[in-house]
Structure 1
């Protein structure tokens, strides 16, 4: 897999983060709030690892 493909896939992942944040604003989320928080934490870890691995490329 080349770096451009990885960057494109990371951009897709980043775009989903906003959706997860909007879910946290829903008052009827109930116990799913824990899962959404976990997904956000793991996504942030993935994005941080990508930036550490490819510091010169950023996210785009």
Structure 2
């Protein structure tokens, strides 16, 4: 996979992160909150790793 395609996919994932943040604001989330928090942590780790691997890349 070329770096540009990878960058596009990471950008798409990063944009979906906002949806998870809005989901956390829901008061009736219950135990699903644990899964949403875990997903956010994994997305953040993925974005950090991408930025370390391709430091010259500009994200959205």
TM-score, shorter chain, exceeding 0.5:
yes
Give the C-alpha shift of residue 58 in structure 1: 2.8
Q: Distance in 1 between matches of 2:57 and 2:30?
A: 38
Give the C-alpha shift of residue 59 in structure 1: 1.9
- Report the equivalent of 2:43: 43
CA offsets 1:30-52 (integer angstroms, 9 cap, x no match): 00000000000000000000000
Report the TM-score when normalising by structure 2: 0.95
Structure 1 unaligned regions, length at least 5: none
Report the TM-score when normalising by structure 1: 0.95
Structure 2 unaligned regions, length at least 5: none
**Where in structure 1 do 4 or more consecutive aligned residues deviate above 2 Å?**
none
Aligned length: 60
- SS of 2:16's partner is helix
- SS of 2:59's partner is coil
